[in-house]
């Protein structure tokens, strides 16, 4: 691989010293040494002394323990060195917080030797409460009075004029480890713009909630690149945002820039401390902040990977009213009992099913099926979605997908990402070979995983 970009990192001596001090720094595009398994201690500034009045009236409470230091925590613990002397912009959202739940915006405002110039927001807006696919206008942040430039409105990446005001763009977005979730896309688009403008990109890394070992589903065909897919990666990709950024900066052809621009691009990743690839979100000790209106908790993260594709134009719906997003599924005209029986007959490893009910959006009681993951190791995240597509052809014969218009067909394919699957599904309907496609995708996903190990920051 020729012509790697200049990805800034501390010298070996500083890295060794930081390790001895219990601090982590910035990682370059080269794979780091294998981290030590011991749980890192909280930084010295983690516990503030209680006021005298509190000491007199209540017993002291033990400081909270956090197994994981996020990139923003490490940035602060290292004295904000990575942004010292720089004018910065921040691409973030409501889930961009430190491990104590404090907004990254607030953290960066106290950085002593940098100038906070502007904010950028992704899909769902800075506050995270705008529905999917709805465009967001530029605004002014009410607290900081900084301009907020929307990257999900008239612009999908920072403009040259916006980037002229900053030296570095800091990115702190909580992704969910799924290709079609647009935060990895907006990061890649921002990297395109920054590299072209000569602006440094600084990624504050965060956990992949699904862990770093699961890879599953079809790799995105390049012809289906869009605002819901900008990397040729499996649907469940197994990387953190920092690792995806390293891949984008190092691999020719990933960024939509000239090769000479990529080589000169500047990327700094502030890695986490304490996170391991085997960790799912509950093991991090971190509170899950909703990343979008429908992904409000960790169960919804699991569900998004598992049923999201299966509910694309199939007739299957996820959620019972406003409850159970991506975990409760139903098909009009099919009882929950029949659906459970049909799902059980598929013998999908790692899954169980149970009947649920609740008020629909019109206030009427509605039944559905809740999908439980009973064995995470055996679970293949996308398998259920493709089985739902096949079931949809039985429930709505001869084939609901063959009836899609051009616009809906494109929407289906930019999410799923496989022309071969689309052609087979449209042609074969309920007879489509799910097992054969799953096997092919699994082989390619494992090869992808081996090929991207060089970008891993964590073991």
What confidence tens digit (pLDDT) does each residue in 175-189 have? Answer: 999 999 999 999 999
Looking at the domain assignment, is residue 181 inside a domain? yes
If one counts every other C-beta atom within 10 angstroms of the C-beta of residue 310, the result is 23
- Model confidence at 376: pLDDT above 90: yes
Return the closest-CA partner of residue 278 out of 71, 38, 458. Answer: 458
- Which residues have C-beta within 8 Å of that of residue 408, sequence separation ≥ 6? 313
- Model confidence at 18: pLDDT above 60: no
- Model confidence at 38: pLDDT above 80: no
At 65 the pLDDT is: 61
Show the tokens assigned to 142. Answer: 């009410």
pLDDT band (50, 70, 90) for residue 29: very low
pLDDT band (50, 70, 90) for residue 322: confident
Considering the domain architecture, whether residues 250 and 372 belong to the same structural domain is answered as no
- Model confidence at 51: pLDDT above 80: no
- Model confidence at 316: pLDDT above 60: yes
At 95 the pLDDT is: 97
- Model confidence at 163: pLDDT above 50: yes
- Model confidence at 63: pLDDT above 60: no
Which of 241, 267, 290 corresponds to the end of one domain? Answer: 290
> What is the average pLDDT across 192-199?
98
- Model confidence at 2: pLDDT above 50: no
- Model confidence at 400: pLDDT above 80: yes
Instruction: Summarize pLDDT for 249-289 with one digit per residue, the tens.
Output: 999 999 999 999 999 999 999 999 999 999 999 999 999 99
Distance of CA 432 to the CA centre of its chain: 30
- Model confidence at 443: pLDDT above 60: yes
- Model confidence at 9: pLDDT above 50: no
Considering the domain architecture, whether residues 332 and 387 belong to the same structural domain is answered as yes
Looking at the domain assignment, is residue 24 inside a domain? yes
Looking at the domain assignment, is residue 89 inside a domain? yes
> What is the average pLDDT across 107-113?
96
Burial (Cβ within 10 Å: 0-12, 13-18, ≥19) of residue 357: middle
If one counts every other C-beta atom within 10 angstroms of the C-beta of residue 419, the result is 13
Q: pTM for this structure?
A: 0.86
β-sheet bridge partners, residue 365: 359
Percent of the chain past pLDDT 70, that is, above it, reads 86
Which of 256, 290, 324 corresponds to the end of one domain? Answer: 290
Considering the domain architecture, whether residues 151 and 249 belong to the same structural domain is answered as yes
The CA distances from residue 143 to 140, 146, 147, 252, 317, in Å, are 9, 8, 11, 40, 39
Considering the domain architecture, whether residues 158 and 279 belong to the same structural domain is answered as yes
- Distance between CA 333 and CA 247 in Å, rounded? 46
Considering the domain architecture, whether residues 279 and 373 belong to the same structural domain is answered as no
If one counts every other C-beta atom within 10 angstroms of the C-beta of residue 340, the result is 16
Looking at the domain assignment, is residue 425 inside a domain? no
- The DSSP output letter for 314 is S
At 59 the pLDDT is: 38
Q: Give the total number of structural domains in the chain.
A: 2
At 321 the pLDDT is: 87
- Model confidence at 201: pLDDT above 80: yes
Looking at the domain assignment, is residue 439 inside a domain? no
Give the domain CATH number at 312: 3.90.1150.140
Looking at the domain assignment, is residue 111 inside a domain? yes
Give the chain's mean pLDDT.
Answer: 89
Considering the domain architecture, whether residues 402 and 313 belong to the same structural domain is answered as yes
> What is the average pLDDT across 201-223?
98
Considering the domain architecture, whether residues 284 and 394 belong to the same structural domain is answered as no
- Distance between CA 184 and CA 241 in Å, rounded? 7
Q: Give the helix ranges, DSSP H, for 104-231.
A: 104-109, 160-163, 183-197
At 64 the pLDDT is: 54
Radius of gyration from C-alpha coordinates of the chain: 23
Bigger pLDDT: 25 vs 360: 360
Show the tokens assigned to 89. Answer: 């912009």
Q: Which of 52-66, 115-129, 178-192 has the lowest mean pLDDT?
A: 52-66
pLDDT band (50, 70, 90) for residue 58: very low
Considering the domain architecture, whether residues 333 and 249 belong to the same structural domain is answered as no
Considering the domain architecture, whether residues 25 and 174 belong to the same structural domain is answered as yes
Give the domain CATH number at 32: 3.40.50.12170
Return the closest-CA partner of residue 170 out of 105, 228, 110, 258. Answer: 105
**Which domain does 410 fall in, by range?**
298-417
At 23 the pLDDT is: 37
User: Packing angle between helix 383-395 and helix 336-345, nearest 10 degrees?
Assistant: 120
At 360 the pLDDT is: 86
> What is the average pLDDT across 383-401?
98
Bigger pLDDT: 115 vs 38: 115
Burial code (b: 16+ CB inside 10 Å, e: under 16) for 223-239 equals ebbbebbbbbbbbbbbb
Looking at the domain assignment, is residue 422 inside a domain? no
Considering the domain architecture, whether residues 338 and 237 belong to the same structural domain is answered as no
Considering the domain architecture, whether residues 233 and 258 belong to the same structural domain is answered as yes
DSSP E strands: which ranges in 47-163?
Answer: 87-92, 115-121, 139-140, 147-150
Which of 246, 263, 290 corresponds to the end of one domain? Answer: 290
- Distance between CA 373 and CA 363 in Å, rounded? 29
Looking at the domain assignment, is residue 453 inside a domain? no
Considering the domain architecture, whether residues 129 and 166 belong to the same structural domain is answered as yes
């Amino acid at each position: 691989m020729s012509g790697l970009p200049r990805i800034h990192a501390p010298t070996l001596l500083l890295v060794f010293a930081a390790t001895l001090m219990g601090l982590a720094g910035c990682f370059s595009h080269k794979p780091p040494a294998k981290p030590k398994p011991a749980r890192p201690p909280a930084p010295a500034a983690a516990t503030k002394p209680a006021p005298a009045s509190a000491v007199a009236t209540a017993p002291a409470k033990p400081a909270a323990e956090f197994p994981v230091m996020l990139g923003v925590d490490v940035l602060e613990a290292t004295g904000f060195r990575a942004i010292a002397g720089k004018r910065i912009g921040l691409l973030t959202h409501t889930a961009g917080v430190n491990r104590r739940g404090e907004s990254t915006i607030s953290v960066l405002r106290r950085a002593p030797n940098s100038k906070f110039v502007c904010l950028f927001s992704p899909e769902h807006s800075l506050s995270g409460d705008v529905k999917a696919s709805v465009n967001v206008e530029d605004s002014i942040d009410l607290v900081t009075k900084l301009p907020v430039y929307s990257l999900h409105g008239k612009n999908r990446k920072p403009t040259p004029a916006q980037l002229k005001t900053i030296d570095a763009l800091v990115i702190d977005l909580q992704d969910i480890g799924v290709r079609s979730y647009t935060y990895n896309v907006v990061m890649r688009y921002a990297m395109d713009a920054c590299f072209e403008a000569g602006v440094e990109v600084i990624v504050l890394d965060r956990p992949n909630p699904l862990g770093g070992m699961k890879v599953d589903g079809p790799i995105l065909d390049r012809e289906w690149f869009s605002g819901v897919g900008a990397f040729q990666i499996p649907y469940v990709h197994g990387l953190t945002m920092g690792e995806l950024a390293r891949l984008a900066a190092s691999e020719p052809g990933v960024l939509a820039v000239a090769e000479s621009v990529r080589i000169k691009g500047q990327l700094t990743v502030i890695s986490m401390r304490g996170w391991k690839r085997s960790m799912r979100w509950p093991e991090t000790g971190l509170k899950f902040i909703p990343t979008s209106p429908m992904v409000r908790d960790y169960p919804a993260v699991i569900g998004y990977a598992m049923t999201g594709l299966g509910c694309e134009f199939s007739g299957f719906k996820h959620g019972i009213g406003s409850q159970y997003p991506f975990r409760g599924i139903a098909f009009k005209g099919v009882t929950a009992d029949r659906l459970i029986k049909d799902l059980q007959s598929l013998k999908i490893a790692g899954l169980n099913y149970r009947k649920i009910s609740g008020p629909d959006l019109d206030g009427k009681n509605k039944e559905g099926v809740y999908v439980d993951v009973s064995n995470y190791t055996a679970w293949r995240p996308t398998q259920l979605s493709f089985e739902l597509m096949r079931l949809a052809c039985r429930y709505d014969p001869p084939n609901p997908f063959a009836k899609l218009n051009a616009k809906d067909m494109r929407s289906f394919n930019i999410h799923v990402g496989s022309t071969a699957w689309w052609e087979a599904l449209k042609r074969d309907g309920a007879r489509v070979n799910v097992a054969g496609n799953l096997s092919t995708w699994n082989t390619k996903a494992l090869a992808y995983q081996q090929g991207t190990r060089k970008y891993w920051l964590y073991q």
